[in-house]
Amino acid sequence: MKISIGNDHAGPDYKKAIVHYLESKGHVVTNYGTNTDASVDYPDFGHPVANDVSEGKADFGIVICGSGNGIAMTVNKHPKVRAGLCWTKEIAYLTRLHNNANVLSIPARFTSIAQAIEIVETFITTEFEGGRHQNRVDKISC
């Protein structure tokens, strides 16, 4: 799989661990995130991830900021992007199963790195259920 990842200053350690995990599983990762904890603006790192997903250059996107909210709001402005804010693997499972999310937003200040890896694993391995959920997903875009 091709996966794009972006993060602000709250997530460089998370990103590093997630990239290592993904690459160890054979995935190709494009890194748009910052590598330091110096303050930056999350939209600058979320928009490139969303562009990759929207344009079909990435199968999935992963974005990380302190609460996960700001960067999720940013990427959800892009066509064809459905970002889900997930702080447990159970929520990651449901956001893929029922909502066909294609971008995972992780709140670095509310999860551990180990939890984030579990969330990523669950997100990328869960298939969209379709069926009754497809009609709902079709109504998301404006």
- Cα 7 from Cα 117, distance rounded (Å): 15
CA distance 26 to 66: 28
Q: Which of 9, 47, 78, 98 is catalytic?
A: 98
> Given 9, 65, 78, 86, which residue is catalytic?
65
Q: Is 86 a catalytic residue?
A: no
CA distances from 38 to 80, 128, 132, 141 (A): 31, 37, 45, 35
d(CA 101, CA 120) in angstroms, rounded, equals 12
| 78 is a catalytic site residue | no
CB 61 within 8 A of CB 106: no
Distance separating alpha carbons of residues 99 and 6, to the nearest angstrom: 21
* Residues annotated catalytic, as ranges: 65, 98
